[in-house]
Chain A
Amino acid sequence: MAALINLTIDGRAVKVPPQTLVIDAAKTVGIEIPAFCYYEGLSLAAACRMCLVEVEKMPKMMTACTLPVSEGMVVRTETEQVKQARKYTLEFLLTNHPLDCPVCDKGGECELQDMAFRYGAGESRYTEEKVHTPEKQFSPVVFFDAPRCILCFRCVRVCNEGLGVGALGVINRGVASEIAPNVGDHLECDECGACIDICPVGALTSGAYRYHTRPWEMTHTGTICTHCGDGCKTTLGTRNDQIIRGNNRDRSGINGEFLCIKGRYAFDFYDHPERLQSPLLRVNGKLEEVSWAKALQVVAQKFTQTLADGGSFGVIGSNHTTNEENFYLQKFARQVLRTNHIDHHRTGDVVTLLDALSGKTTQLATVQDLYERKAVLVLGADLALEHPLLSYQVRANYRHHQAHVYVVTPQEVREDKYAAATVRGRDYESLRDKLKAEPELVILFDDSYKGEDLRKLVDFAESLAIPVKFICLLDYANSRGAVDMGLTPELLPGYQPSGQPGMHVDEMITAELSALWVVGANPLKGAVQRKAGFLVVQDMFLTETAQQADVVLPAASAYEKNGTVTNTSGEVQRLTRAVNTMGAKPDLEIMGFLARDMGAAATLGPWVPETVFAEIRQTVRGYEIPMPVMATGGAAQTVPVKGRIVVDSGVEFRPDLIHSDHNGLFASGTLGRYSKVLNSVLENRLNR
């Protein structure tokens, strides 16, 4: 590393790496230089002029946001001249800014308000008429109020650079300059809302949040998005047990500030009118509302009876439920119901990957690796649509570190635009020479690489003779956790071979089982007729599967419970309850009550997430993750296997059962159907 540069800011000695900008150097010693347009990670603009500082030996004030440090530099950020300049820059800004703070969504967390408070003039000398233009709706999600816009161009830059979408631009010039959407008067974009969150003022507001509340009336809970497998942290703003908004402005979590439409807005399924609020029991062929006690009793009795009769059980778990719930469920199935017919919808071949790596645990990439490693190879997936965070990371890596990105996909993808090489189809072998020349590589592959194909891929990676890491792309919030926790007949938690045959999902739904217990899954979608003698379903909604159930137990959503989930790159993160359940219960609690009612509580232990997690940490390979990381809301990667799984044990793992839903940006399996935001975007597109 190059030697550090010494400089003085406001009389304090500062030591920072070369190329550091003065504005960032100041931060290291707690000096905040105000700025609107400067935004870490985005290209420099130097447009707002708020960050002007005095630098010795320079004739004019300089913008701290573009000035790299140099040895011996002397910077002053609080002189009369600097203060005066800030004050008058704000005065300029406010000339055309409507002072409608009392009704502006941003009021209370507006950077312009804060700056005016800290650096501004008491009164404006501006007495001319202000420019007025009416508010515009750019999309179902994005509203734009031009007069409030201070033209910092953050929105344009984040959309263009961060997201690679380029849906926002600037039209006209001078005072007439205005932010404009990409298609006539509306936006056609990812609807991620990054532009809204990054707007320092209330110029861009969200259809979901606007005029709902004042920011200071909300409680904020950091939890994990329940939609895709990338595992973004989302901070839910709630009031009166209602989720009002999602964002991640505090940049905690593996995603920093990034969120896609699902993480930012698609929490809204939770109060969908069709949300189940009471258990249902089939009486005379019809589902009727009953009390929790009654419903649990019916299920416990039926399960106990079936056990006594030597009947057969099938258990289908979920890609959305927590690790604790999955662990508890498999334990319930194996130890209480004594069945190994347990499975879930598999969306990627983690098992073969881990097996082929034969325990080389350093070969599993994290989300951060995608931002840091020198080269990335994307196989199969349309990353930008299916794994928005991973795609964002790769793009940022390219922008900030000029990473080489290679794309091998059947169809055109957004990564093509900046890829070092693109191959249509599957012939990654043709990239061999280029990849060999890279110092290191991360390979991401989707469900089209599984079984033997995947083993070949790992061999290929090996043959490159460079350090290679992998990410096996998986669909939902806890797909990885479902495999890790043993929701498969072949493997117990921690990839220990179960040594017993068991049915897979497709077999269970077509077999004449005595009882089938479905937790948070919808295996009977697509008009499949149930075959099981008794069907219990835990879910949030009356899905196709729930409609055929004998007992439906309303389950809490991810935003209504505590626990942990594991993302597609094996990083474990904590779910924190943001709102309380309306008549529904967390799946873990439901299972606990059933265990209690069946007299199996002692076998299964307390149904408290923390306790279950403690057991997971002790018993599941790879989950010996450090507690402080978890406790502080961080992410810790599991390192699941230290040896071969399949080959050594003779387990036959069935790659043919794997299929990903390839959900795009506006789809999220069954759950997505209940999100108003996702639906409105889809409808909006259909109507165009």
Chain B
Amino acid sequence: MLFNQPSPLETKVLTRRFGLPNSASIDTYLATEGYQAFLKAAKMTPEQIIEEVKVSNLRGRGGAGFPTGMKWGFVPRTSPKPKYIVVNGDESEPGTCKDRVLIENDPHQLIEGVLIAGLSVDAHAGYIYIRGEYRYLIEVVEKALAEAYEKGWLGKNIQGTGFDFDLYAHTGAGAYECGEESALLESLEGKRGIPRIRPPFPAVAGAFQCPTILNNVETFCAVPAILRDGGAAFAALGIPKSGGTKMTCLTGHINKPGVYELKLGFPVKQMIEEVGGGIRNGKKLKAFIPGGSSCPVLTAAEVEGATMDYDSMASRKTMLGSGGVIIMDEDTCMVKAALRIMRFYAHESCGWCIPCREGTTWLKKILTRFHEGQGTRTDIDLIGDIAKNMLGRTFCPLGDAAAMPTISIVEKFRHEFEDHLNGKPCPYENTGSMVTV
């Protein structure tokens, strides 16, 4: 079972079973109030379920933070077409490794969340899409599904409620873009992970062109608690408009990296110092990414007073994102960081649209040259400018995801680029070069 030493500062809602013996088994689950929320929901009307989720202020945990209850409300429940529930377990955003622990330690919580979503829109089938690299989780999920079928928590007439639901595990095979919801649906249909033109959104035309609820793993995992304890209780855990807890992955130059469940609105400083045990080797903070490599980078100064929630981050022109916190200490070369991030996006661009396909590669080439000490002064502005020419113009948000960190690094750490020009190929570390694919 994979998880780190818990922190006393955590609020354990989604992770409440972590650490229990056989936490992933249905027996453990049933012994700890498991599937009770489903039974409760089965007695409610779909409107009531959706209302409860709305009250909880649950916002999507996949990165965009869209209010979940509202999203479920968009599904035309009375459409004659079948409806589907799709779980986004593609988790590929650099810095993010929370869905993995949720699935591994408590798969039934996810299944229960999906069942409740199914009730809310009259869906009878669902798919859990898991990135190919998490191959072992396919086995974990399939085992859990088998247990659930065996014990009558999936299949026909679940526990005498009259509700039928079939759930399947589906694997990806290495593609970040397949985390983008419409690309995921294409991938689920056996196609290249090219996003779809929207509208229509998945709520109306999702899996197999049918109405679909598509959410992140963590989002679904929050649902049983919401139904069990009530939306208001969940909402009260967070701050106004951002309910509940957030699985937060502390990564980078920190003493106690790990995945921690923190209340929304948790102070960043406290998170770094107390939950994470402070910056490694007593160094100072240089840069902070709140939610995966797609988010604009914050400087140490900007982090002052920030809290881990959607609004606080938005007011700092960045995003809470997926909860992948990346901490960079004072010795970090920001040019190198920008380059590594861009290499990722160039590798993952699906290639459909021009600005993303060509822009990421062009930036990767310039940044590589720059980091190797072959940059020129005009390159600095050019880098920022290319990124700005991608921003808001690409087919899907991957282009923005590549542009935003780059723009912020050029703007906020311009002096580091200048330093690279001043005869110091890379002033921040001994090895000037970087492995390149």
Contact = CB atoms under 8 A, between A and B. Distances in A.
Direct contact, A vs B (beta carbon within 8 Å)? yes
Given A170-B192, A174-B346, A175-B346, A89 B393 contact: yes
B349 A52 contact: no
Nearest to B361: A175
Interface stretch (A10-18, A42-50, A278-286, A677-685): A42-50
A411 B358 CA distance: 47
A172 B347 CA distance: 11
Interface stretch (A92-100, A375-383, A652-660): A92-100
Interface residues of B, number: 30
Given A52-B393, A66-B197, A128 B369 contact: yes
A175 B355 CA distance: 11
A129 B348 CA distance: 21
Interface string A120-137: 000001101100000000
A656 B352 CA distance: 56
B354 A175 contact: no
A686 interface: no
Given A49-B393, A92-B359, A93-B358, A128 B365 contact: yes
Nearest to A176: B351
A92 B197 contact: no
Contact of B353 (A48, A126, A128): A48
Interface in B2-46: none
Interface in B148-172: none
A61 B346 CA distance: 23
Interface in A473-508: none
Interface centre among A47, A150, A174, by most chain B C-beta atoms within 10 angstroms, is A174
B209 to A, nearest CB: 14
B92 interface: no
Nearest to A169: B192
Interface in B336-355: 346-355
Contact of B395 (A49, A95, A125, A129): A49
A128 B354 contact: no
B395 A47 contact: yes
Interface in B361-399: 361-362, 365-366, 369, 382, 389, 392-395
B308 interface: no
B351 A89 contact: no
B404 interface: no
B105 interface: no
B360 A174 contact: yes
Contacts of A60: 392-393
Nearest to B381: A125
A119 interface: no
Nearest to A48: B354
B358 A47 contact: no
A350 B193 CA distance: 51
A150 B395 contact: no
Nearest to B198: A66
A49 B353 contact: yes
B175 to A, nearest CB: 7
Interface string A82-121: 0001001101110110000000000000000000000000
Given A49-B353, A170-B192, A85 B389 contact: yes
B263 interface: no
Interface residue SS majority, chain A: loop
A417 interface: no
Contact of A92 (B192, B348, B362): B362
Nearest to A68: B199
A173 interface: yes
A95 B365 CA distance: 12
A639 B75 CA distance: 54
Nearest to B347: A174
B354 A44 contact: no
Contacts of B392: 60-61
B349 A93 contact: no
B351 A49 contact: no
B351 A85 contact: no
A305 interface: no
Contacts of B350: 173-174
A28 interface: no
A288 B192 CA distance: 65
B175 A173 contact: yes
A151 interface: yes
Contacts of B394: 49
A89 B197 CA distance: 19
B180 to A, nearest CB: 13
B362 A95 contact: yes
> Range of interface residues on chain A?
20 to 34
Given A173-B175, A174-B349, A49 B355 contact: yes
A95 B192 contact: no
Contacts of A92: 354-355, 357-359, 362, 389
B116 to A, nearest CB: 33
A92 B389 CA distance: 9
A95 B386 CA distance: 12
Given A95-B362, A126-B362, A128-B369, A150 B354 contact: yes
A130 to B, nearest CB: 10
B393 A175 contact: no
Interface centre among A66, A96, A151, A175, by most chain B C-beta atoms within 10 angstroms, is A175
A670 interface: no
A47 B365 contact: no
Contact of A128 (B349, B352, B362, B395): B362
Contacts of A44: 197
Contacts of B346: 174-175
A95 B363 CA distance: 11
Contacts of A176: 351
Contact of B358 (A52, A85, A96, A172): A96
A49 B354 contact: yes
Contacts of B395: 46-47, 49
Contacts of B360: 174
Nearest to B399: A49
A650 B357 CA distance: 73
Interface centre among A44, A93, A177, by most chain B C-beta atoms within 10 angstroms, is A177
Interface centre among A44, A61, A91, by most chain B C-beta atoms within 10 angstroms, is A91
Interface centre among B193, B349, B369, by most chain A C-beta atoms within 10 angstroms, is B349
A151 B362 contact: no
A46 B353 contact: yes
A193 B145 CA distance: 51
A48 B369 CA distance: 28
Interface in A22-64: 44-49, 52, 60-61
A48 B355 CA distance: 8
Given A61-B393, A85-B393, A174-B347, A47 B354 contact: yes
B177 to A, nearest CB: 8
Interface in A392-411: none
Interface centre among B175, B352, B354, by most chain A C-beta atoms within 10 angstroms, is B354
Nearest to B389: A88
Contacts of B389: 85, 88-89, 91-92
A174 B353 contact: no
A491 to B, nearest CB: 54
A174 B361 contact: yes
Given A126-B362, A151-B354, 5 more contacts: A61-B393, A89-B355, A91-B389, A92-B354, A174-B357
23 contacts: A46-B395, A47-B352, A47-B354, A49-B353, A49-B354, A49-B395, A60-B393, A85-B389, A92-B359, A92-B362, A92-B389, A95-B361, A95-B362, A96-B358, A96-B361, A126-B362, A151-B351, A151-B352, A172-B351, A173-B177, A174-B348, A174-B350, A175-B349
**Pairs A-B, 3 closest by C-beta atoms:** A177-B351, A92-B358, A128-B365
Interface of B: 175, 177, 192-193, 197, 346-355, 357-362, 365-366, 369, 382, 389, 392-395
Interface of A: 44-49, 52, 60-61, 66, 85, 88-89, 91-93, 95-96, 125-126, 128-129, 150-151, 170, 172-177
